[in-house]
Chains A and B, each alone.
Chain A
């Protein structure tokens, strides 16, 4: 990676937009993933809820359907009973049926087979008759009457009529419990399976031969058989009811599918009552089962299985009747309600229900198939919404990612610019989030770099590197703008340089000057001076700013001494080259001044302004008057606290200042043996101030090698010639700069 050029990297970033290498792509991907996940969860939850609701509804519907089925079943059976009763009362029927019972036979006095003749007779009548009473269902639209399944037995259970086999007429049929029950109770019902029909001792339903398709045995169906005891009419009077004599038993069979299940379905689809759209019905007797259309073999098998454990109706009743159960098949999950299938009975049972349990009834609905359309509907409605949400999420994600990454891209660009040195970049800060804070931090960093650059630019020329570093670390110490503080200012000027410049080539002059400045700067650096500026051959520097320096005066004094030493070491070399002697003058002053970055934005200097500076400059100039090299103000000497050996020279009033300044010459560092003339000068100075010029003159003349003494000797002489005014205070006014 380090070998990659920025251009390559940029290209990589752009290419990464497709390959999840960019932040925005990742954000978009994450956002999309989240939204798709949330949607998926919502969809699944919705699906579950819809499924649950559908199941609940179907459960409720099943209960209603079952109840409706039971009512329908009861009503149907009751109508069958009523019709059977009416038929049995019919005179035609009775006339035909009267011969089927022989009193002789009953009385055991039948000679030969008297009864059989009557039965045969009745059979012939029934066969030849074309009336509904004998089970001919009249349909005005069909020419051929439709035959219903029925059979007739006399009281001694001898077969009088059946659709099955005419040869069986007259046979005594035992082992049919339904017959016995009907004879005993008057009415009874049973559900007969095809298998049971085949085991009957008579042919109730003929096997299918092709031309009897309507009444032959139907597989997978159950025959609901009503056995009804026909009696003579007795009397019309109710009291004469007991006089009715039994004639025989009429069996009527109706295929359940046709009678109940299809009927139920019709009602279910047309009527509000059953609400059974999609409901399947099944009726089970023992192991035999019949169902409405559309019930798969698998489901049939399972229904039979579910009941095989409890084949006894009574036992099956023990099952919780309000509980629906579910059966899983290949074509979906079925919700099944089970109940007892009752027949109708003339008398009410103790539990208030009429009839006996003759089978089990099942109502079932394909939960999957039914909830599927609802779910599909929900899905078709939800899917566009989901897609819309995803698209919206995508747009939002892109916008958000852009918004998030835009500052980062800007930062990246800005960082590149910074790398190339453009420290004036500033990335706009948007918001207060992490990116905003990062941008802010970046801006601060750039600002810091800029400040650093500025500090470097400001101070590196004037200060030693440690101070610059210190300032960079603590930029507040180099507070921009003006600051008022105590300072010691040093002015140094080379004496004789002007004349030297006339004698030298500019190149050589610069060479000399640079040599001097090189060393001087070194000295200044050693003593922690802040170099203000070079003014031609002059140096201006100060202490106690930008970093505070407690011993600023002492440092200044020592620096001055060292600078003099530098000049002293340079001077012989220059003299050796035949040039004028090089000397210097230095002015030192300590006092308040305003320090700071002063100038325009384009060009500013870290500098000091104020009276203190002016005085320092004046003192530098005044040194010439005294013939000394270093002239320091009293403030500086005092602030130096004895670091240097100083000689008081004068009270000096410089131009532009009202108050006189006590000025000193710096002689040497403290501890150096003071020259002898210092003491004489001091005495002379005291005498001078006491207007004893003659005596002072003697003192000053005693040190002819000392320039200040010479200056003062000259002053004394002048005062002797023309004594100063009475109010003379010993102050010397310097009118030149």
Chain B
């Protein structure tokens, strides 16, 4: 739903600068290690955040929502433009917590009962690992980017970045939904009104999934974790 809103926002903003702005279209390819140890292409290429850096844009006016449902964050990967508000809503039946120790956006939402919200504004760009202090298995990533030229891929791995100012920009692909990949970096040159095509290669590695709780300690069995 958040992704739909983003695309809506982008599609609304696009005509404003359509005359002098360009588009970046492309595809993300993910290589994984097959059962025999040889690299094979990954079928599901969803959840890769593709963005440009090098310039900043004001964030869209509205909030984006990350829900907690069935002891999981939904969606688990979300792109946020710096300055944008993110609402974490407990749509579950148990009490949750949302926190991050990441440098770009340290926060702690406290305990949210089912139905309660917590809204946080992310002003700094960066990768923000979001966890629940109660449920260790709950993991999400917010990618706070400097401008609106950002997209999250679907299963086909395709993406379109619209409203890109002309020029040469670094283009990144970050994939850390449930399995981390390295960061793929490339350069893309955008010409006014034209469409640039980019293919980004990612190699997926198994993640070091362990993380610490909000106090920087190992998770321990808790009375309220059910």
Q: Is A232 within 8 A of B172, CB to CB?
A: no
Q: Is A110 within 8 A of B126, CB to CB?
A: yes
The minimal Cβ–Cβ distance linking B126 to chain A, given in whole angstroms, is 4
Cβ 8 A contact of B208, one of A108, A117, A234: A234
- 22 CB contacts below 8 A, A to B, read A103-B126, A104-B103, A104-B104, A104-B127, A106-B183, A107-B126, A107-B143, A107-B172, A108-B183, A109-B125, A109-B146, A111-B82, A111-B126, A114-B103, A114-B126, A234-B208, A240-B206, A242-B206, A243-B205, A243-B206, A243-B208, A245-B208
- Interface 0/1 of B152-174, CB less than 8 Å to A: 00000000000000000010101
- Chain B residues with Cβ under 8 A from A612's Cβ? none
- Interface 0/1 of B176-219, CB less than 8 Å to A: 00000001010000000000000000000111100000000000
The minimal Cβ–Cβ distance linking B183 to chain A, given in whole angstroms, is 5
Known contacts being A104-B127, A243-B207, is A111 close to B183, with CB within 8 Å?
no
Q: Is B103 within 8 A of A102, CB to CB?
A: yes
Closest to B53 in A: A108
- Chain A residues with Cβ under 8 A from B104's Cβ? 104, 109, 111, 114
- Chain B residues with Cβ under 8 A from A111's Cβ? 82, 104, 124-126
Closest to B123 in A: A111
Cβ 8 A contact of A245, one of B103, B124, B185, B205: B205
Q: Is A108 within 8 A of B172, CB to CB?
A: yes
The minimal Cβ–Cβ distance linking A659 to chain B, given in whole angstroms, is 157
Closest to B207 in A: A243
- Chain B residues with Cβ under 8 A from A232's Cβ? 208
- Chain A residues with Cβ under 8 A from B174's Cβ? 107
- Chain A residues with Cβ under 8 A from B170's Cβ? 108
- Chain B residues with Cβ under 8 A from A107's Cβ? 126-127, 143, 172, 174, 183
- Interface 0/1 of A222-242, CB less than 8 Å to B: 000000000010110000101
- Chain B residues with Cβ under 8 A from A235's Cβ? 206
Known contacts being A104-B103, A104-B104, A242-B33, is A109 close to B126, with CB within 8 Å?
yes
The minimal Cβ–Cβ distance linking B172 to chain A, given in whole angstroms, is 5
Within 8 A of A (CB), among B1-49: 33
Q: Is B183 within 8 A of A104, CB to CB?
A: no
Residues of B in contact (CB 8 Å), total 22
Closest to A102 in B: B103
The minimal Cβ–Cβ distance linking A89 to chain B, given in whole angstroms, is 15
Q: Is A109 within 8 A of B145, CB to CB?
A: yes
- Chain A residues with Cβ under 8 A from B130's Cβ? none
Closest to B204 in A: A242
Q: How far is the CA of A245 from the CA of B82 in the complex (A)?
A: 28
Task: Decide if B144 is an interface residue (CB 8 Å cutoff).
Answer: yes
- Interface 0/1 of A96-127, CB less than 8 Å to B: 00000011101111110010010000000000
- Prevailing SS type, chain A contact patch: loop
- Chain B residues with Cβ under 8 A from A104's Cβ? 103-104, 125-127
The minimal Cβ–Cβ distance linking A395 to chain B, given in whole angstroms, is 93
Closest to B170 in A: A108
The minimal Cβ–Cβ distance linking A103 to chain B, given in whole angstroms, is 5
Q: A111-B82, A240-B206 are in contact. List 18 more A-B contacts (CB 8 A).
A: A103-B183, A107-B126, A107-B127, A107-B143, A107-B183, A108-B172, A108-B185, A109-B53, A109-B144, A109-B146, A111-B124, A114-B104, A114-B126, A117-B103, A242-B33, A242-B205, A242-B206, A245-B205
- Chain A residues with Cβ under 8 A from B127's Cβ? 103-104, 107, 109
The minimal Cβ–Cβ distance linking B24 to chain A, given in whole angstroms, is 15
Cβ 8 A contact of A110, one of B125, B143, B207, B208: B125
Q: How far is the CA of A107 from the CA of B144 in the complex (A)?
A: 10
In the A-B complex, the 8 residue pairs with the smallest Cβ-Cβ separation, listed nearest first, are A104-B126, A111-B124, A109-B125, A243-B206, A108-B53, A111-B125, A103-B127, A106-B183
Within 8 A of B (CB), among A159-174: none
- Chain A residues with Cβ under 8 A from B208's Cβ? 232, 234, 243, 245
Q: How far is the CA of A375 from the CA of B87 in the complex (A)?
A: 95
- Chain A residues with Cβ under 8 A from B103's Cβ? 102, 104, 114, 117
The minimal Cβ–Cβ distance linking B107 to chain A, given in whole angstroms, is 16
- Chain B residues with Cβ under 8 A from A108's Cβ? 53, 170, 172, 183, 185
Q: How far is the CA of A562 from the CA of B124 in the complex (A)?
A: 180
- Chain B residues with Cβ under 8 A from A234's Cβ? 208
Closest to A232 in B: B208
- Chain A residues with Cβ under 8 A from B53's Cβ? 108-109
Q: How far is the CA of A232 from the CA of B174 in the complex (A)?
A: 20
The minimal Cβ–Cβ distance linking A354 to chain B, given in whole angstroms, is 24
Q: Is A109 within 8 A of B33, CB to CB?
A: no
The minimal Cβ–Cβ distance linking A579 to chain B, given in whole angstroms, is 172
- Chain B residues with Cβ under 8 A from A110's Cβ? 125-126
Q: How far is the CA of A714 from the CA of B55 in the complex (A)?
A: 202
- Chain B residues with Cβ under 8 A from A117's Cβ? 103
Q: How far is the CA of A241 from the CA of B159 in the complex (A)?
A: 32
Closest to B105 in A: A111
Q: How far is the CA of A234 from the CA of B205 in the complex (A)?
A: 10
The minimal Cβ–Cβ distance linking A58 to chain B, given in whole angstroms, is 53
- Chain B residues with Cβ under 8 A from A240's Cβ? 206
Q: How far is the CA of A107 from the CA of B174 in the complex (A)?
A: 7
Name which of B146, B185, B205 has the most chain A CB atoms within 10 A of its CB.
B205
Q: How far is the CA of A102 from the CA of B126 in the complex (A)?
A: 9
Q: How far is the CA of A103 from the CA of B101 in the complex (A)?
A: 13
Q: How far is the CA of A267 from the CA of B178 in the complex (A)?
A: 56
- Chain B residues with Cβ under 8 A from A109's Cβ? 53, 104, 125-127, 143-146, 172
Q: How far is the CA of A102 from the CA of B128 in the complex (A)?
A: 11
- Interface 0/1 of A262-279, CB less than 8 Å to B: 000000000000000000
- Chain A residues with Cβ under 8 A from B124's Cβ? 111
Name which of A104, A110, A245 has the most chain B CB atoms within 10 A of its CB.
A104
The minimal Cβ–Cβ distance linking B141 to chain A, given in whole angstroms, is 10
- Chain B residues with Cβ under 8 A from A245's Cβ? 205, 208
The minimal Cβ–Cβ distance linking A435 to chain B, given in whole angstroms, is 105
The minimal Cβ–Cβ distance linking B129 to chain A, given in whole angstroms, is 9
Q: How far is the CA of A103 from the CA of B174 in the complex (A)?
A: 10
Q: How far is the CA of A376 from the CA of B94 in the complex (A)?
A: 98
Closest to A118 in B: B103
Closest to A105 in B: B126
- Interface 0/1 of B70-111, CB less than 8 Å to A: 000000000000100000000000000000000110000000
The minimal Cβ–Cβ distance linking A432 to chain B, given in whole angstroms, is 104
- Chain A residues with Cβ under 8 A from B185's Cβ? 108
The minimal Cβ–Cβ distance linking B181 to chain A, given in whole angstroms, is 11
The minimal Cβ–Cβ distance linking A154 to chain B, given in whole angstroms, is 14
- Chain A residues with Cβ under 8 A from B125's Cβ? 104, 109-111
Q: How far is the CA of A103 from the CA of B103 in the complex (A)?
A: 10
Q: How far is the CA of A235 from the CA of B210 in the complex (A)?
A: 11
Q: How far is the CA of A106 from the CA of B172 in the complex (A)?
A: 9
Q: How far is the CA of A373 from the CA of B77 in the complex (A)?
A: 82
- Chain A residues with Cβ under 8 A from B206's Cβ? 235, 240, 242-243
The minimal Cβ–Cβ distance linking A570 to chain B, given in whole angstroms, is 164
- Chain B residues with Cβ under 8 A from A106's Cβ? 183
Q: How far is the CA of A235 from the CA of B125 in the complex (A)?
A: 30
- Chain B residues with Cβ under 8 A from A103's Cβ? 126-127, 183
Within 8 A of B (CB), among A230-262: 232, 234-235, 240, 242-243, 245
- Chain A residues with Cβ under 8 A from B82's Cβ? 111
Q: How far is the CA of A104 from the CA of B105 in the complex (A)?
A: 12
- Interface 0/1 of B134-151, CB less than 8 Å to A: 000000000111100000
Closest to A104 in B: B126
- Chain A residues with Cβ under 8 A from B207's Cβ? 243
Q: How far is the CA of A107 from the CA of B181 in the complex (A)?
A: 11
Closest to A112 in B: B124
The minimal Cβ–Cβ distance linking A716 to chain B, given in whole angstroms, is 180
